[in-house]
């Protein structure tokens, strides 16, 4: 490919390739002359053989002598991971779910050749309605996709498609018109966008700090070390729309006076790494990255740096040390990276999602973005919705949307008709919010005021079967494991809190333990060195604040109300429900279940089975095997 | 720029850039610290803000601030003694204690342990937190020092001492979270890693996690063995620091008391390693002149009396092995002569002699154990103990050190000139060599105060006219400085005729076996004072040139014939090996 040497050439190319997406922007019901099939190529769907599915689709297309033009390609994550692999057929916008490679033949023969929708692959809503189109599905109803704008639309491995989606035009406007960097930064500030990594620091302000540092070597760093358990917003963006991040990094470079960007990405994201590599190569070939971009005197090179998956390396100073090749440990701020960062040079560290928003903000004007969201939190936020919820997946909503809307309207409510108990936001650093917080609008301030935090966007829904002290313990196990070990409160304090929680969940805790736990949690919050340590007590403090009765049940009554803490429950068989089928005894790995001789079961002359509690290891196999539901937790 | 702020409600002024800790100290408030370390002499600053024991409240800040790294600002309101701040400091200390063995009764560091002192200062009266211990209490014993990970508080001082003083960085944090530990590769002992045993890590360790490997009982055992004839010799710098262990002012010269104490301990002969130092100068200046005038060896000649430096060359700069003087160190020469010259004179079987050296250094323990420093399987020097270990022995024996009157060394190997005394300071060996070389060429005493060589500034470079020869000399202390010098020589950007290097910044007076002081005593004051005492001793000596030492003259006359003789080579010279 030959290099693009000016903004005019870029726009010319844009006009040439714009049509690539035409089909995907239309909505034509019924038979069409041309089709385009998008298959989700995100990590979740590829692990369910979506890449094989693309091959199968194209094989079937070739096998049949079709009268219509049709092509199947991968695209980025649709977000509706619960129902993946997702296939979307344009221009009729039919949205197929849970598609297997073996379904390829039927899709091509029926849908493409015969014009008959494959109904069995369509989404069925919880109230049994069949939905054909993406926009008809509740999951997408309240979403607004800005950061994810191109995920599910373009093929991320083809820069032509990104260009058709107006990639690099914001960069071109800025560098070819030699816009004053301070003007660019003012626009970023005017959009109101704040750091999507969790802390919510205003992005424009951060850039300004670095921009006003004396001229010389400066760095732009993209934090792609997404570490919250269950979170995959950044991964999906990088897999689905890598050019949006690359373009924004170059803009950041221009704005602060840097010629080098580093993407710090965890090595556990091989697909994202691969797509980034392809994207960087393609952008360099076109002269959209590298030396003298678009024929200007602005040069910007992007390197990929791998992280080994340490959670603490998401903290910017630890991340910087990791890139420098030293131990990934945070250091005191100040000095802030904007003053002294990578190799002691002014550095800005922004999250993937933050970057992904910027090209479109700068292209369409900051006012448009600022019009979305709440007063202090502008724009949208991507959440990884997980837990006991019907629609697990990636959702992007305007700031200010309530938790209730996300959980019930988008998420489709609680799985298996169970009762909602809490929602955990902000990952291991966040807190658990309850029923009474459901109408809290989602923004940085409101979540913090309610005792949780935005974080990078993890959102885990808990139901009546979840034990809150146990959930707090789960998160603390994570932070104890991920603590770098540098400062005392985090290294030793978190471990001591975990030990106290272990006592409590085993029914060995005392009221004094609860007091010590609270004092310790507050101390760690007040004195730990970095964000990891300072926020580690949040799951404990928020569960104590909102679910103190559950703690007291474990401590005083020695019971686990949710029947989740193994040490505090016994598996028993309700004789009047036992049909003496013997399934429980067959699956019991330790032979703890035998048929009694004298206890009357449900059926005449069939004595009930009983569990020997002394032998029982509480694995739960029996309860899963029992069809009449005679086994219960006590 | 002067700024105004409030400390505990009272207005104070400070300079911009100062930390809360510094400003509080200037205003008579000592905020407790543990991981923090600042050494004015070398500029070593270790402030990782890791222990969180120096937390203070600052109005308007969402959480507490570590005083050691928080810079003051105009109008700042610092509160050091609120309930919240005091509780936070105490809680973090209690957390450290919850993962620390409570075996102070049997810990060698007891009484000098900073953790113990903090516990006392912060009024820890009970331990509210307990739980699993992160590391097992099994010491890893090396020849020079012993590491007990269970006692480590992860302050990281040792890591920075190794990195900043020596630029070796042979130890670092490994593993993470609760399991974090400080060690060399694979947790191996100091003998098995590329460690030079300088002991700067041991010196800065606030707890008993790093201690010189204690050999005092081995010495007592020898002293109690009727079959053994135990001889001791004391290094130049020991006399200016031992007194500190008994509460005497820093840098007090206690040579006479030390000799007396050693006699009370039961040593048969008490010699002065200063004799060995003078002898080293005789041999080394001879070697130097030979290399310069006759071209018999590589230049620059590099001193070889510092065992940390020698091992450093063996590990990191093997290309300079031939530049090292082949002379044994004063400890090596002294010990070799005790088991030959002295043994023959007194008619004692060398196998029965146990040689004990009192050293400012713990690398000397490793040097003692070098197989090449002995004869027929009998080591020249049997046991090397540090100044601190000698103090332990004196205490164990109930000797009231401060009331002892002065005694003198035994003769034959007990005389030392001022040239030997200055071995304790950086630049001293070079100065002594120059004094002697000039004396040997000119056959008369010239100016002996060669101030340009007194290398307290890290690296000192000078050109001197010695006996009509213009010689380029350099002195470095601290291996971080040595590295700069070696790399320059290697690159050919600098060239010298002789280089003196001491591994410890400031020389032996700052050795890894020297007495420690509480952190609030400035390092620079300690070094300056010890340094000055040594200069004073040298100045007062009648003889300040090694060749003037009458016992040395006798040794050559009766035994060795002349410097560099066959016999001298057999007894007083050694070789080095790439590691």
In DSSP notation, A308-367 reads ---GGGGSHHHHHHHHHTS------SSSPTTTS-GGGS-EEEEEHHHHHHHHHHHHH-HH
The half-sphere exposure of A164 on its side-chain side, counting CA atoms within 13 A, is 19
Stated as kind and residue range, the H or E segment containing A633 is strand A631-633
The answer to whether the Cβ–Cβ distance between B52 and A529 falls below 8 Å is: yes
Q: Do A429 and A305 share a structural domain?
A: no
Residue A386 CB partners (closer than 8 Å, separation 6+): A230, A392, A458, A459, A460, A461
Whole-number Å distance between alpha carbons of A24 and A149: 13
* Residue B1 near chain A (CB below 8 Å): no
Neighbour tally for A30: CB within 10 Å: 7
Q: Do A352 and A392 share a structural domain?
A: no
Query: Quick check: is B24 in a domain?
Result: yes
What pLDDT score was predicted for residue B234?
Answer: 98
Catalytic residue among B508, B516, B528, B541: B508
Q: Do B234 and B92 share a structural domain?
A: no
Q: Do A111 and A52 share a structural domain?
A: yes
Query: Quick check: is A351 in a domain?
Result: yes
Q: Do A277 and A202 share a structural domain?
A: yes
Mutate to test the interface with A, among B131, B169, B183 (most CBs of A within 10 A): B131
Q: Do A444 and A494 share a structural domain?
A: no
Catalytic site includes residue B284: yes
The answer to whether the Cβ–Cβ distance between A310 and B176 falls below 8 Å is: yes
pTM value? 0.91
Give the chain A residue whose CA is nearest to the CA of B72: A334
Query: Quick check: is B534 in a domain?
Result: yes
* Residue B180 near chain A (CB below 8 Å): yes
Q: Do A513 and A458 share a structural domain?
A: no
The Cα of A525 is separated from the nearest Cα of chain B by a number of Å equal to 8
Query: Quick check: is A578 in a domain?
Result: yes
The answer to whether the Cβ–Cβ distance between A491 and B49 falls below 8 Å is: no
pLDDT of B358 > 80? The answer is yes
What pLDDT score was predicted for residue A109?
Answer: 92
Query: Quick check: is A600 in a domain?
Result: yes
The answer to whether the Cβ–Cβ distance between B63 and A332 falls below 8 Å is: no
Q: Do B336 and B473 share a structural domain?
A: yes
What pLDDT score was predicted for residue B266?
Answer: 97
The answer to whether the Cβ–Cβ distance between A527 and B176 falls below 8 Å is: no
Catalytic site includes residue B54: no
CATH at B40? 3.10.20.740
Spell out which residues of chain A touch residue B175, defining contact as CB-CB under 8 Å.
Answer: 485
Neighbour tally for B412: CB within 10 Å: 18
Of B53, B66, B95, the CB nearest to A493: B95
Q: Do A336 and A223 share a structural domain?
A: yes
pLDDT of B326 > 70? The answer is yes
The answer to whether residues A196 and A353 touch, using CB atoms and an 8 Å cutoff, is yes
The answer to whether residues B164 and B480 touch, using CB atoms and an 8 Å cutoff, is yes
Query: Quick check: is A108 in a domain?
Result: yes
Contacts A–B by Cβ distance under 8 A = 108
Give the chain A residue whose CA is nearest to the CA of B154: A486
Mutate to test the interface with A, among B178, B182, B207 (most CBs of A within 10 A): B178
Domain span at residue B25 reads: 2-97
* Residue B16 near chain A (CB below 8 Å): no
CATH at B173? 3.30.70.20
Catalytic site includes residue B364: yes
Spell out which residues of chain B touch residue A482, defining contact as CB-CB under 8 Å.
Answer: 176-177
The answer to whether the Cβ–Cβ distance between A486 and B55 falls below 8 Å is: no
* Residue B133 near chain A (CB below 8 Å): no
Q: Do B13 and B145 share a structural domain?
A: no
Q: Do A310 and A278 share a structural domain?
A: yes
Q: Do B328 and B258 share a structural domain?
A: yes
Catalytic residue among B287, B314, B494, B516: B287
Spell out which residues of chain A touch residue B87, defining contact as CB-CB under 8 Å.
Answer: 519, 523
Q: Do B150 and B86 share a structural domain?
A: no
Whole-number Å distance between alpha carbons of B298 and B279: 22
Query: Quick check: is B277 in a domain?
Result: yes
Query: Quick check: is A141 in a domain?
Result: no
CATH at B453? 3.40.50.1780
The Cα of B136 is separated from the nearest Cα of chain A by a number of Å equal to 16
pLDDT of B138 > 70? The answer is yes
Catalytic residue among B284, B389, B415, B494: B284
Domain final residue pick, A325, A344, A369: A369
What interface predicted TM-score (ipTM) does this complex get? Answer: 0.91
Domain final residue pick, B213, B248, B263: B213
Q: Do A456 and A407 share a structural domain?
A: yes
Of B63, B92, B172, the CB nearest to A327: B172
Low-confidence ranges of chain A (pLDDT < 70): 1
CATH at A53? 3.40.30.10
Closest CA to A303 of A225, A244, A236, A246: A246
Domain final residue pick, B213, B238, B267: B213
Kindly report the three-state secondary structure assignment for every residue of A269-285. CHHHHHHHHHHHHHHHH
pLDDT greater at residue B524 or residue B235: B235
What pLDDT score was predicted for residue B109?
Answer: 93
Edge-to-edge order in the sheet of strand A431-434:
A393-398, A380-387, A458-463, A420-425, A431-434
The answer to whether the Cβ–Cβ distance between B176 and A519 falls below 8 Å is: no
Q: How many domains does chain B have?
A: 3
Of B66, B69, B178, the CB nearest to A491: B178
Catalytic site includes residue B152: no
Domain final residue pick, A463, A490, A522: A463
Q: Do A344 and A201 share a structural domain?
A: yes
Q: Do A455 and A579 share a structural domain?
A: no
Give the chain B residue whose CA is nearest to the CA of A330: B48
The answer to whether the Cβ–Cβ distance between A516 and B129 falls below 8 Å is: yes
Q: What is the pLDDT of residues B412-469, one digit of tens each?
A: 999 999 999 999 999 999 999 999 988 888 777 667 787 777 766 789 999 988 878 8
Average pLDDT over residues B340-345: 96
The answer to whether the Cβ–Cβ distance between A489 and B52 falls below 8 Å is: yes
The half-sphere exposure of A203 on its side-chain side, counting CA atoms within 13 A, is 36
Query: Quick check: is B170 in a domain?
Result: yes
What pLDDT score was predicted for residue B125?
Answer: 92
Query: Quick check: is B408 in a domain?
Result: yes
What pLDDT score was predicted for residue B115?
Answer: 96
- Dump strand ranges (E) for B459-516: 459-466, 469-477, 498-502
The Cα of B359 is separated from the nearest Cα of chain A by a number of Å equal to 35
Average pLDDT over residues B128-147: 93
Whole-number Å distance between alpha carbons of A374 and B275: 84
Query: Quick check: is B370 in a domain?
Result: yes
Neighbour tally for B169: CB within 10 Å: 12
Whole-number Å distance between alpha carbons of B20 and A333: 15
Spell out which residues of chain B touch residue A499, defining contact as CB-CB under 8 Å.
Answer: 131-132
Catalytic residue among B372, B540, B557, B570: B372
The answer to whether the Cβ–Cβ distance between A486 and B64 falls below 8 Å is: no
Spell out which residues of chain A touch residue B160, defining contact as CB-CB under 8 Å.
Answer: none
Of B64, B130, B175, the CB nearest to A527: B64
CA dihedral for A45, A50, A54, A55, sign (positive or negative):
positive
Spell out which residues of chain A touch residue B79, defining contact as CB-CB under 8 Å.
Answer: none
Give the chain A residue whose CA is nearest to the CA of B133: A492
Q: What is the pLDDT of residues A258-293, one digit of tens each?
A: 999 999 999 999 999 999 999 999 999 999 999 999
Catalytic residue among B305, B306, B327, B504: B305
The answer to whether the Cβ–Cβ distance between A332 and B55 falls below 8 Å is: no
* Residue B51 near chain A (CB below 8 Å): yes
Catalytic site includes residue B109: no
Domain span at residue A298 reads: 159-369
Q: Do A183 and A274 share a structural domain?
A: yes
Give the chain B residue whose CA is nearest to the CA of A503: B131
Q: How many domains does chain A have?
A: 5
Catalytic site includes residue B305: yes
The answer to whether the Cβ–Cβ distance between B84 and A329 falls below 8 Å is: no
Q: Do B155 and B87 share a structural domain?
A: no
CATH at A509? 1.20.1440.230
CATH at A248? 3.40.50.11540
Query: Quick check: is A288 in a domain?
Result: yes
Domain final residue pick, A463, A498, A516: A463
Instruction: Return residues 361-420 of B near A (CB < 8 Å).
Output: none
Please classify residue A633 by burial: count the beta carbons closer than 10 Å to its beta carbon, then call 0-12 exposed, 13-18 middle and 19+ buried.
Answer: middle
Q: Do B301 and B159 share a structural domain?
A: no
Of B92, B153, B176, the CB nearest to A527: B92
What pLDDT score was predicted for residue A1?
Answer: 61
Q: What share of chain A is helix, strand, coil (3-state, %, to 5)?
A: 45, 20, 35
């Amino acid at each position: 490919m030959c290099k693009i040497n000016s903004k005019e050439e870029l726009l010319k190319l844009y006009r040439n390739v714009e049509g690539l997406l035409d089909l995907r922007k239309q909505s034509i019901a019924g038979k069409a002359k041309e089709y385009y099939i998008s298959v989700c190529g995100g990590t979740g769907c590829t692990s369910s053989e979506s890449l094989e599915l693309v091959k199968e689709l194209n094989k079937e297309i070739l096998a049949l002598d079709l009268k219509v033009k049709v092509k199947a390609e991968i695209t980025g994550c649709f977000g509706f991971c619960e129902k993946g692999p997702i296939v979307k057929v344009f221009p009729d916008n039919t949205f197929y779910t849970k598609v297997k490679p073996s379904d390829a033949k039927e899709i091509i023969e029926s849908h493409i050749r015969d014009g008959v929708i494959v109904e069995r692959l369509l989404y069925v809503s919880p109230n049994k309605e069949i939905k054909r189109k993406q926009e008809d599905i509740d999951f997408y109803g309240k979403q607004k996709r800005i950061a994810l704008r191109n995920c599910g639309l373009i093929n991320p491995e083809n820069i032509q498609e990104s260009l058709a989606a107006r990639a690099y035009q914001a960069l071109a406007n800025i560098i070819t018109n030699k816009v004053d960097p301070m003007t660019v930064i003012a626009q970023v500030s005017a959009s109101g966008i704040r750091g999507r990594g969790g802390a919510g620091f205003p992005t424009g302000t951060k850039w300004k700090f670095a921009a006003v540092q004396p001229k010389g070597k400066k760095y732009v760093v993209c934090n792609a070390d997404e570490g919250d358990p269950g979170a995959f917003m950044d991964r999906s963006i990088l897999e689905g729309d890598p050019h949006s991040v690359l373009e924004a990094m170059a803009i950041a470079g221009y704005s602060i006076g840097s010629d080098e960007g580093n993407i710090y990405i965890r090595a556990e994201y091989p697909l994202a790494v691969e797509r980034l590599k392809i994207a960087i190569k393609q952008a360099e070939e076109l002269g959209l990255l590298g030396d003298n971009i678009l024929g200007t005197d602005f040069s910007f090179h992007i390197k990929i740096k791998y992280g080994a998956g340490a959670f603490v390396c998401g903290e910017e100073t630890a991340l910087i040390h990791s890139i420098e090749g030293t131990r990934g440990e945070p250091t005191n701020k100040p000095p802030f990276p904007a003053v002294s960062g990578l190799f002691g040079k002014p550095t800005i560290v922004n999250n993937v999602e933050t970057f992904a928003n910027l090209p479109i903000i700068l292209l369409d004007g900051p006012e448009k973005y600022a019009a979305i969201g709440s007063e202090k939190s502008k724009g949208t936020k991507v959440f990884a919705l997980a837990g006991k919820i019907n629609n697990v997946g990636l959702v992007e909503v305007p700031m200010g949307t309530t938790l209730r809307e996300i959980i019930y309207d988008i998420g489709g409510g609680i799985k298996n008709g169970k009762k909602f108990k809490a929602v955990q936001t902000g990952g291991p650093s966040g807190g658990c919010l309850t029923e009474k917080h459901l109408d809290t609008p989602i923004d940085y301030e409101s979540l913090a005021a309610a005792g949780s935090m935005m974080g990078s966007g993890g959102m885990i829904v808990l139901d009546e079967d979840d034990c809150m002290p146990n959930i707090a313990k789960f998160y603390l196990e994570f932070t104890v494991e991920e603590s770098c070990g540098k400062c005392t409160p985090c290294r030793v304090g978190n471990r001591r809190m975990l030990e106290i929680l272990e006592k409590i969940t085993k029914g060995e805790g005392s009221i004094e333990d609860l007091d010590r736990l609270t004092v310790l949690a507050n101390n760690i919050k007040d004195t730990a060195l970095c964000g990891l340590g300072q926020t580690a007590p949040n799951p404990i403090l928020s569960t104590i604040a909102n679910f103190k009765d559950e703690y007291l049940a474990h401590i005083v009554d020695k019971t686990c109300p949710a029947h989740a803490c193994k040490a505090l429950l016994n598996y028993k068989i309700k004789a009047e429900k036992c049909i003496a089928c013997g399934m429980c005894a067959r699956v019991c790995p330790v032979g703890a279940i035998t048929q009694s001789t004298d206890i009357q079961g449900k059926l005449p002359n069939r004595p009930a089975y009983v569990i020997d509690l002394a032998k029982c290891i509480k694995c739960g196999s029996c309860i899963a095997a029992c069809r009449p539901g005679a086994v219960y937790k006590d | 720029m002067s700024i105004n702020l409030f400390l505990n409600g009272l207005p104070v002024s400070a300079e911009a850039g100062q930390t809360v800790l510094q400003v509080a100290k200037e205003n008579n408030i000592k905020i407790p610290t543990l991981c923090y370390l600042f050494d004015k002499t070398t500029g070593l600053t270790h402030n990782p803000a890791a222990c969180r024991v120096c937390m203070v409240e600052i109005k308007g800040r969402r959480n507490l601030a570590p005083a050691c790294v928080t810079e003051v600002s105009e109008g700042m309101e610092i509160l050091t003694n609120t309930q919240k701040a005091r509780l936070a400091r105490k809680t973090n200390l209690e957390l450290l204690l919850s993962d620390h063995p409570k075996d102070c009764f049997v810990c060698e560091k007891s009484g000098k342990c900073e953790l113990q002192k903090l516990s006392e200062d912060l009024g820890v009266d009970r331990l509210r937190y307990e739980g699993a211990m992160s590391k097992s209490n099994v010491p890893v014993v090396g020849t020079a020092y012993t590491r007990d990970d269970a006692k480590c508080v992860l302050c990281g001082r040792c890591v920075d001492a190794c990195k900043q003083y020596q630029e070796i960085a042979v130890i670092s944090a490994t593993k993470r979270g609760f399991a974090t530990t400080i060690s060399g590769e694979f947790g191996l002992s100091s003998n098995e890693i590329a460690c030079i045993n300088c002991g700067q890590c041991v010196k800065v360790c606030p707890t008993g996690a790093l201690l010189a490997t204690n050999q005092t009982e081995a010495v007592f055992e020898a002293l109690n063995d009727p079959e053994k004839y135990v001889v001791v010799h004391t290094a130049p710098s020991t006399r200016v620091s031992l007194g500190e262990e008994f509460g005497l002012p820093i840098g007090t010269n206690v040579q006479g008391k030390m000799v007396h104490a050693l006699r009370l301990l039961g040593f048969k002969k008490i010699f002065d390693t200063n004799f060995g130092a003078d002898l080293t100068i005789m041999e080394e200046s001879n070697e130097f002149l030979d290399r310069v005038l006759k071209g018999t060896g590589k230049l620059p000649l590099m001193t070889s009396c510092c065992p940390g430096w020698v091992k450093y060359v063996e590990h990191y700069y093997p290309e300079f092995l031939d530049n090292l003087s082949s002379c044994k160190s004063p400890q090596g020469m002294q010990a070799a002569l005790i088991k030959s010259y002295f043994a023959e004179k007194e008619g004692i079987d060398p196998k029965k002699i146990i040689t004990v050296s009192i050293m400012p250094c713990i690398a000397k323990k490793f040097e003692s154990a070098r197989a090449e420093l002995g004869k027929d399987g009998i080591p020249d020097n049997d046991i090397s103990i540090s100044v601190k270990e000698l103090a332990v022995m004196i205490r164990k024996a109930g000797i009231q050190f401060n009331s002892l009157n002065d005694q003198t060394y035994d003769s034959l190997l007990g005389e030392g000139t001022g040239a030997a005394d200055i071995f304790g300071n950086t630049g001293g060996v070079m100065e002594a060599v120059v004094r002697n070389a000039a004396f040997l060429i000119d056959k008369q005493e010239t100016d002996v105060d060669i101030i340009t060589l007194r290398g307290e500034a890290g690296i000192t470079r000078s050109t001197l006219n010695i006996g009509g020869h213009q010689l380029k000399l350099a002195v470095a202390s601290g291996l971080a400085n040595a590295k700069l010098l070696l790399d320059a020589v290697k690159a050919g950007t600098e060239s010298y005729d002789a280089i003196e290097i001491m591994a410890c910044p400031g020389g032996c007076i700052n050795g890894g076996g020297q007495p420690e002081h509480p952190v609030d005593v400035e390092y620079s004051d300690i070094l300056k004072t010890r340094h000055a005492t040594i200069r004073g001793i040298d100045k007062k000596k009648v003889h300040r040139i090694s060749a003037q030492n009458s016992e040395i003259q006798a040794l050559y006359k009766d035994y060795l014939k002349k410097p560099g003789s066959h016999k001298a080579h057999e007894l007083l010279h050694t070789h080095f090996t790439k590691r």
